[in-house]
Structure 1
């Protein structure tokens, strides 16, 4: 495994949840970390939590011009991780087309724009965060499964196009992140308990579990074109 010491790491969506956990672990390994998201306030709080001189950048991945300008000005990155997405969910016949387009725009096209515009160090890496619905669809989240599958396919193709830059995906299961914070705490805990009981791992995932997999891919020179599933066995249970 290679060292992240003084490596330039950009975490898009690094102000909360999985992205924040990735940024924290990369910084702890000595990387020069920049976190990016749309909210300056959330970035400031995340930077305070991470410490160690982490840099911040307000960035909307839906704005192609802003993405291109930021990446042109920032120079070559050793590693980029993309965790930012807002994806309205629901059955295909009930989810409005506008909401469906917004979901695809946020999670797939946002990642595509960054991959298209970014400059990487020769042995750099790009990692997408997808999701286990790509392999185990849900009748109420069909679009999310399709978007995740598209991201994983994009990673495999880019691993060829961008070689020797390494491109991979990490596919989480149900993770305890701020995504669920709008739920009543009792209902949320009951849901987590029910889901954990049905998983082979018998537990709900934490952001650090996904960050572990991301750092493995960043620091393993032989890993490219891969999707690492970290879902507690959700795809097989």
Structure 2
């Protein structure tokens, strides 16, 4: 039986593309009043047209302390909040410039922290972070793995801190997902990467944003789920 989010107000931070956009579309199709936020009004407008529903948009830079505080001071309360926004340059620890490392942590971890600190979530609502399977299998992506692990720990801690307010906090941990993140690669290289993933992952398929959206809606619609990290990675963590 599908869950209805009718009359529920949902904020997707990072809702202008990829996983965030897919989650916004899924919530809208389930009847929610959806607000998508990102740094670019043009990208928000394009996403709104693709979603094809009456969604609100909000320009929000989660790396800007004052902007985050100001937005949530005027936005009102939400029933469910999803934080998917991040820009995380990567590389080996000893070769990645420190300013890039600081920027990655500021974007993905501190951005989520700022939102969690400022947002008003209604009783029986939820907050969901998007982390990533590198938290358990970082390989050469040490910084990204560390940031994802920190996000998952933040979700567990906030699940306890916000329990008296009856707000649930969880994380969804995706594997490799076919999103605009890979748009900078030449088409042939990108398709080859997707085909390799589909051939080698235990799930024998490439991940899609809709797969992660399913997990996000599951957590938002399940009153017993809090402090959880749902791994949706095609089996990459065990391969």
If the TM-score is normalised by the length of the shorter chain, which range does it land in? Answer: over 0.9
Contact map agreement 1:76 1:120 (CA 8 A) in 2: yes
Contact map agreement 2:173 2:229 (CA 8 A) in 1: yes
Out of 150, 165, 184, the position equivalent to 1:182 is 184
Match of 1:207 in 2: 209
How far off its partner does 1:177 sit? 0.1
Q: Given the alignment of the two structures, is residue 71 of structure 1 paired with residue 72 of structure 2, yes or no?
A: yes
Match of 1:149 in 2: 149
How far off its partner does 1:51 sit? 2.5
Out of 214, 230, 233, the position equivalent to 2:235 is 233
* Cα distance in structure 1, aligned partners of 2:22 and 2:180: 12
* Cα distance in structure 1, aligned partners of 2:142 and 2:200: 21
* Cα distance in structure 2, aligned partners of 1:99 and 1:52: 37
Contact map agreement 1:2 1:221 (CA 8 A) in 2: no
Match of 1:5 in 2: 6
Contiguous gaps of at least 5 residues in structure 2:
none
* Cα distance in structure 1, aligned partners of 2:62 and 2:137: 27
Match of 2:195 in 1: 193
**1:146-195 deviation line (CA, Å, top 9, x unaligned):** 00000000000000001120000000000000000110111111111112
Match of 1:170 in 2: 172
Q: Secondary structure at the match of 1:56?
A: strand
Match of 2:95 in 1: 94
Match of 2:23 in 1: 22
How far off its partner does 1:3 sit? 2.9
Q: Secondary structure at the match of 1:216?
A: helix
How far off its partner does 1:111 sit? 0.2
* Cα distance in structure 2, aligned partners of 1:228 and 1:153: 13
How far off its partner does 1:2 sit? 5.3
Match of 1:104 in 2: 105
**1:118-146 deviation line (CA, Å, top 9, x unaligned):** 1110111000000000011112x100000
Match of 1:35 in 2: 36
Contact map agreement 1:2 1:220 (CA 8 A) in 2: no
Contact map agreement 1:67 1:114 (CA 8 A) in 2: yes
Q: What is the aligned length?
A: 236
**1:69-105 deviation line (CA, Å, top 9, x unaligned):** 1111111110000000000010000100000000000
* Cα distance in structure 2, aligned partners of 1:199 and 1:52: 34
